[in-house]
Amino acid sequence: MDIRIELTKSPKAKPTDESNLGFGHIFTDHMFIMDYETGKGWHDARIVPYGPLDLMPSAMCLHYAQEVFEGLKAYRTANDEIQLFRPEENFKRLNVSNQRLVIPEIDPEFCVEALNKLVNIEKDWVPHTDGASLYIRPFIIACDPFLGVRPADTYKFIIILSPSGAYYSTGLNPVSIYVEQNYVRAVQGGMGFTKTGGNYAASLAGQDEAHKQNYSQVLWLDGIEKKYVEEVGSMNIFFIIDGELVTPELQGSILSGITRKSVIELAKSWGLKVSERRIAIQEVADAYDAGKLDEVFGTGTAAVISPVGTLKWGDKVMTINDNKIGPVSQRIYDTMTGMQYGKLEDKFGWIYKVTDK
Ligand code: COI
């Protein structure tokens, strides 16, 4: 499919203070769009000026949340090359979400090509500062103007770009996490493994409660017994217990994070013992009491590697590694960001270089 390009006649001023970008507030000059219609497939791929969508108030996505999304980043290297991290993984995962929400699949190879074109047009928007990047948000919405509940016949696939700094204002300083015991995020058979807006809407009440208690994020437990650790609001979670890296196994209600998967591959390549298994919150508390809870960190595209300094479960408040980033978390952070920003060799074939092709 050809991609039509219409460039803006009124480019916006780019941010001058890159230390103050925040996350997800600023958007670039252009976006990618393609449409879908039953019988016609995906068509009319185009890069056009960023702006409001032509969408009816009755559009199905606004009522029944038939929507999926992804998140990845473009990084600037010291030689001014622009790099993406495993972009094909994001589009493959988008198709996993599509299947669950009965949204037509996209062609991951074509989407990587479209993203390459869009990022190349917007390359001057990729921040120059270490730790800042161009956050990329692909998403698909159901567009039929109809109030009945069924899969839609028309969709839009859109990619927007946002120059961003750290997701947490604390940066690499440890975050405080509150273990939610009342609300649940997802259950097996539900949509927890997909990236769909509804999962994040379901997380807001718990997040609100956590904020009221001065915690920045929620750690979700399983939806049935509320015993087993699942994930944090915007990240997967890892524990280092007695030297072993442990993360909850993917059993249907947890997002299959691309950073999660990369951290596991990286840690194994260093010879660390890594287990993907069911982990009870009680086991975490017992390890803490026994002095064996060495480090805790979250992983995500937006959050990168985010050390956890405090974990509150009921009345128990656990302070991890003196509320400082631990040596393994730091090594993983340095290696992942080193590859992403082109400072370290990519031994895994994870880096995709943006070109003007
Ligand atoms: C990401 O890490 O890219 C996400 O999509 C999480 C989002 C809540 C910011």
Tell me: the pLDDT tens digits for 213-266?
999 999 999 999 999 999 998 899 999 999 999 999 999 999 999 999 999 999
Task: For 19, list phi and psi in degrees, rounded to 5.
Answer: -80, -5
Question: What is the Cα–Cα distance from 192 to 91, expressed in whole angstroms?
Answer: 18
- Cα(234) to centroid of ligand 1, in Å? 6
Segment 115-137 shows an average pLDDT of: 96
The whole-angstrom separation of Cα 220 and Cα 180 is 6
- pLDDT tens, residue by residue, 181-208: 999 999 999 999 999 999 999 999 999 9
Does ligand 1 lie within 6 Å of residue 301's CB atom?
Answer: yes
Determine if ligand 1 sits within 6 Å of the CB of residue 138.
no
What is the rounded CA–CA span in Å between residue 56 and residue 254? 33
Q: What is the token pair recorded at 122?
A: 């917007």
302 CB under 6 A from ligand 1? yes
What is the rounded CA–CA span in Å between residue 132 and residue 331?
19
Instruction: Locate 153 and state its tokens.
Output: 């016949």
pTM (whole model) above 0.75: yes
Residue pair 323/309 in contact (Cβ under 8 Å)? The answer is: yes
Judge whether 121 and 5 are in contact, CB under 8 Å.
Answer: yes
User: Which residue, among 294, 340, 351, has the nearest Cα to 321 in the 3D structure?
Assistant: 294
- What pLDDT, in 10s, does the model give residues 86-98? 999 999 999 999 9
Q: Indicate the SS3 state at residue 230.
A: strand
Q: Are 55 and 322 in contact (CB under 8 A)?
A: no
Instruction: State residue 233's pLDDT score.
Output: 85
234 lines ligand 1 (CB under 6 A): yes
Question: How many angstroms is it from 56 CA to the middle of ligand 1?
Answer: 27
Res. 169 pLDDT band, cuts 50 70 90: confident
Mean pLDDT rounded to a whole number for the chain:
96
Joined together, the tokens standing for residue 355 give 């070109």
Under a CB-based contact definition with an 8 Å cutoff, are residues 180 and 218 in contact?
yes
* Whether 77 contacts 342, CB under 8 Å: yes
Atom of ligand 1 minimally distant from the CA of 300: 2
* pLDDT score at 115: 98
Ligand 1 mean position, distance from CA 148 (Å) = 30
φ, ψ of residue 165 in degrees (nearest 5): -100, -150
As a whole number of Å, the CA-based R_g of the chain is 21
Contact of 143 with 32, CB cutoff 8 Å: no
Would you state the pLDDT for residue 167? 80
Q: How much of the chain, in percent, has pLDDT values that exceed 90?
A: 94
* Residue 192 near ligand 1, beta carbon < 6 Å: no
Q: Mean per-residue pLDDT for 327-347?
A: 96
The 3-state DSSP class for residue 229 equals strand
Quote the CA–CA distance of 233 and 304 in Å, as a whole number. 14
Residue whose CB lies within 8 A of the most ligand 1 atoms, among 167, 169, 235, for a mutation test: 167
Q: How confident is the model at residue 4 (pLDDT cuts 50, 70, 90)?
A: very high
Selection from 26, 34, 7 nearest residue 121 by Cα = 7
Measured distance CA(130)–CA(147) in Å, rounded: 47
The atom of ligand 1 lying closest to the CA of 259 is 2
Output the pLDDT for position 225.
95
- pLDDT of 127 over the 80 cut: yes
Residue 15 has pLDDT above 80, yes or no: yes
Which of 200, 301, 305 most suits a substitution to test ligand 1, by most atoms within 8 Å of the C-beta?
301
| Burial tier of 303 (Cβ tally within 10 Å: 0-12, 13-18, 19+) | buried
Q: What is the pLDDT of residue 173?
A: 86
| Nearest Cα to Cα of residue 274 among 286, 287, 289, 263 | 263
End-to-end Cα, the chain, rounded Å: 15
